[in-house]
């Protein structure tokens, strides 16, 4: 009796292994347990709809060619750390929802049984703001911490959070930080037409640079925030979206062995100090080096990360507990990072080198209380 013919191509096989469903490619036989990749866990399991959350995926038998999806959308970036660990950055999605992770390697696709929850940044994450009942600041008026202005139809609010960060709060959708305006104790509309932010010592820490007497700060129903004199717009606020920028550290410094090269800013390569110096030069547009003179005319040396707060104060830079995008998060226990985003819930998104990834890039969300201070060289 002749043997039954074996089909050249068999159907994909679904295997339930622990927390993972494994879908093998068409093959003449199922992959053996000894060679099948596994996805055992991932963390964190939540992130914002704007994307950019760094997710560590753990498992077994990850090859050098690994692809990751969040639901049906491919990760913006994937980095294999070892055969048991990869890092994937979540893509942006249109709305809050939960998705499963999918990872493909060695010709096999594995899916998590647990989900990654996208969350939207909504007004519920913003501390209560006292509505002043107006859509504008007239000459001589101030907006204090905990207060807000509301557009004519109530579609948007602009308020100073308790830490002095200026936020645009829509009736629905994501809260945005107003770019370029540093945290202050109040926002004042001066009779000379300048909108200014006032610091803790009563000093002006920022000005709109406008000078038309009688100008007003107005929050509009389209979400724009302007300093206007009648129909003439003198200044318009920019909104900060600020997803993570990713590993933009120079390739030549990444390729060299850690601490084997002195970078152009006089720090050792692939250290936290070198990465922050790179960001200060590249993004903040500051001539930042290990040896530099500060705004008070004093020369100093940044040296090891643990001394940065002390050196910053010595040469005239502000160091406080108020984060701002582009500021330097300083840990007195010898680490520094670059602040990529100030979140509506009071946490900060940091980008850094040599934290959880030795000699390499990472991003994470941190609480302000866990950071020794924020160094303000030239905030964005």
Query: Of 12-21, 112-121, 124-133, 245-254, where does mean pLDDT reach its minimum?
Result: 12-21
Using alpha carbons only, give the angle 243, 246, 251 rounded to the nearest 5 degrees.
155
CA gap 26, 192 in Å, rounded: 74
CA gap 254, 10 in Å, rounded: 44
For residues 183 and 324, the answer to whether their CB atoms sit within 8 Å is yes
Query: Is the pLDDT confidence value at 242 over 80?
Result: no
The pLDDT tens digits of the residues spanning 209-228 come to 999 999 999 999 888 899 99
Confidence at 127, pLDDT banded by 50, 70, 90: low
Using alpha carbons only, give the angle 98, 24, 41 rounded to the nearest 5 degrees.
40
Nearest to 338 by CA among 297, 298, 308: 308
Phi (first) and psi of residue 254, to 5 degrees? -65, -35
What pLDDT score does 29 carry? 43
The pLDDT tens digits of the residues spanning 325-378 come to 889 999 998 899 999 887 656 688 899 999 988 999 988 888 888 999 999 998
Please say whether the dihedral angle defined by the alpha carbons of residues 120, 126, 130 and 132, taken in this order, is positive or negative: negative
Query: Of 121-130, 239-248, 281-290, 302-311, where does mean pLDDT reach its minimum?
Result: 121-130
What 128-136 contacts at long range (C-beta under 8 Å, 24+ apart), as own/partner pairs, is 129/157, 129/159, 129/160, 129/161, 129/169, 131/157, 135/218, 135/219, 135/220, 136/216, 136/217, 136/218, 136/219
What pLDDT score does 27 carry? 42
What pLDDT score does 172 carry? 66
């Amino acid at each position: 009796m002749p043997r039954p013919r074996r089909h050249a191509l068999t159907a994909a096989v679904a295997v339930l292994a622990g927390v993972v469903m494994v879908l093998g490619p068409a093959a003449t036989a199922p992959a053996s347990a000894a060679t099948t990749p596994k996805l055992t866990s991932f963390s964190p399991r939540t992130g914002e709809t704007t994307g950019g959350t760094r997710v560590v995926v753990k498992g077994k038998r990850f090859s050098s060619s690994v692809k990751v999806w969040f639901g049906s959308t491919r990760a913006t970036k994937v980095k294999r750390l070892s055969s048991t660990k990869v890092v994937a950055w979540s893509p942006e999605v249109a709305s809050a929802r939960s998705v499963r992770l999918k990872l493909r390697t060695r010709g096999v696709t594995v899916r998590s049984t647990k989900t990654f929850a996208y969350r939207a940044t909504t007004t519920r994450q913003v501390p209560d703001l006292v509505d002043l009942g107006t859509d504008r600041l007239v000459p001589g008026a101030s907006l204090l911490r905990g207060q807000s202005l509301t557009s004519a139809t109530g579609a948007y609010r602009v308020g100073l959070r308790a830490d002095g960060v200026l936020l645009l709060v829509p009736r629905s959708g994501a809260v945005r930080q107003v770019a370029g305006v540093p945290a202050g104790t109040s926002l004042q509309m001066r009779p000379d037409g300048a909108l200014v932010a006032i610091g803790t010592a009563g000093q002006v820490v920022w000005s709109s640079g406008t000078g038309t007497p009688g100008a007003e700060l107005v929050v509009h129903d389209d979400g724009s925030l302007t300093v206007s004199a009648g129909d003439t717009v003198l200044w318009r606020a920019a909104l900060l979206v600020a997803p993570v920028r990713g590993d933009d550290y120079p390739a030549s410094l990444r390729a060299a062995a850690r601490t084997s090269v002195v970078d152009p800013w006089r720090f050792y390569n692939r250290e936290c100090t070198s990465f922050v110096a790179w960001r200060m030069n590249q993004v903040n547009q500051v001539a930042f080096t290990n040896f530099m003179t500060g705004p008070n005319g004093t020369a100093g040396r940044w040296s090891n990360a643990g001394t940065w707060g002390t050196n910053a104060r010595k040469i005239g830079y502000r160091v406080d507990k108020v984060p701002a995008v582009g500021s330097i998060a300083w840990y007195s226990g010898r680490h520094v990072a670059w602040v990529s985003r100030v979140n509506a819930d009071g946490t900060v998104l940091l980008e850094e080198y040599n934290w959880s990834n030795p000699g390499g890039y990472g991003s994470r969300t941190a609480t302000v209380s866990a950071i020794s201070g924020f160094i303000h060289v030239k905030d964005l």
